[in-house]
Structure 1
Amino acid sequence: MNSASAVRPVPPKSGPGSVAVAVIEDADIPLWDLYELSIACAVFGRPQPELAESWYELRLCGSRPGAAPTRAGFGVSTPYGLDELARADTVIITSVPEASVTEGAELPGELIEALRAASAAGARMVSLCNGAFALAAAGILDGRRATAHWAHTAELARRYPGVRVDDSVLYVDDGDVLTSAGMSAGLDLCLHLVRRDLGAHVANQLARSMVVPAHRPGGQAQFIDRSVPTSDGDGLGPVLQWAREHLDEPLTVEDLARRAAMSPRTLFRRLQAATGSTPLQWLLHQRLARAQVLLETTDLPVERIGELSGLGTAANLRRHFTQHVGITPTDYRRAFPRTPAA
């Protein structure tokens, strides 16, 4: 795992802060591009008192207060102006009009200037889907690794050669600038932001309440928590849940296959098809997820957390944790305030 996509937890000060979403007022924005906007509203716009004492302050910002028109025939309310971006802790730009991507149409100058001002003020800059074109136009992605919808990453790289475009990942975390691929990858990135700000336990529980996995698995470069089991549409749900309840035991592929009443070869094939991981890889990520939660929610010593998570010795825990999460268990524990587990 390289540093550009490592999990970089940042402890909140008096809460996760404000999130300002830049809404482009353009009737050319189709209904499906509003999906990313609805993701941001769903994750950051509703208080979650059962998960955290303080939640995000969501602000929808446009060039004019009122309703931004859409091709779907309804308006999106934008109570705040673009000048609010520079006062936010996190700024999100969702999909831009199609003509700006496929035809090179210029984005509103006031939007570009507002994004630059927010970045200069120290805001965490985030793009969902083709919002990366707006960040690139503002010069915010220069010299950085970034991604966008796979159908348009080639155009992003062609138009902005100073951006190191990566079309193989769901999202890229470059510290204070984060970009996601298209559609539901925006949800992956938003949950990752919650994980960075409030910890793995809160992000996992939020994902459960939204009836989505905390991680959509695959051969991605970045580490994303895998603690929410896959659905049982493939028949694996019960055995995966059983495995998560016995992570402190020395589980093998044969143990899982026997529990699932199938051969090890069949289990291997079906688990890989369902999660994108081999059984041993899946177990490792479950154990790392358990270690994350224990580090956040208990005062147990690292040695005991290694035992309870099934990673064995403290040295083994440190090795795997540093390799996959990007920091040591001790540093991870310092980064997050202690939150009692449900």
Structure 2
Amino acid sequence: MADPKTETAGGPGPLDILLAAPRGFCAGVDRAIQIVDRALERYGRPVYVRHEIVHNRYVVESLQARGAVFVDTLEEVPDGVPVVFSAHGVPKSVPAEAEARGLFYLDATCPLVSKVHVDADRHHGAGRHVILIGHRGHPEVIGTMGQLPDGSISLVETVEDVATLPGKDDRGAGLAYVTQTTLSVDDTAAIVEALKARFPEIASPHKEDICYATTNRQEAVKILAERVEAMLVIGAPNSSNSMRLVEVAERAGCARAQLVQRAADLDCTAFDDVRTLGITAGASAPEILVEEVIEAFRAHRGVRVEEVRVREENVSFKLPRALTASEPA
């Protein structure tokens, strides 16, 4: 990285940027975007996508420019064109509707979200009532709750919600819990503790549901928060994992933590009193947006960048066979 500019009289001094690693795209997001890209290459434009493929406007607008059409319902998808389901997952009724119409669809659901779907279905098949820890209205929560019949799954958002669950005298032998993959690790641990205290026999996931990328990015933010005066999280306001990073930074002691979508939304002068700034990016934010923000600061003042690597990530997920076979489906 370039050396900091010479400080001008009365101007802001050099800025040290601590760049969290890992940050940005996770394997599930990368796979989902590749699915839309490959579908456009293989089948031509348009390719329809039900809901935002991931929660990032830059990504969505880039794919729109290439011929992707984003819609809210399958009713908006004409016959004879491919449709992709977003990385957040969909209720079972959505592929069933697509099949009933004879639509060709590609499922870009993150495999780690699919794991939660499978677990919920397994517990339901074993006669357990499923409790989902998550945020009401989030697409992933809608998709997971839509895996089971109405009345078979209950949503819990807070520790306080646990007390309102039915079964006051029940030890929980007929219960199981699963979680949204992009939650706060600490908040979820507190809810799980409350569930187990009230229902000691409740069934747990075989493996933690919060995904590796969410966990790693939160861990990196906690470490950075101890060293910086302010923190920027690059991501979208409708991105659960990005919003959780802001909360994690604040709770770890960085009072000046904020979300920014891209450099154009940033007032660099607001950080003139900051000498050490942390930067990370949510799992659906591309690296180009990180570079944009750094360059915005570099145009305003001298900048030194240090990458603080907390974990290595080498996870990757396979693409659907329809996109890798020698002949198009």
What TM-score comes out, normalization by structure 2 length? 0.31
Which one has a bigger Cα radius of gyration?
2
Structure ranking higher on relative contact order (CA contacts 8 Å, 6+ apart): 2
What TM-score comes out, normalization by structure 1 length? 0.30
Q: Which has the higher helix share?
A: 1
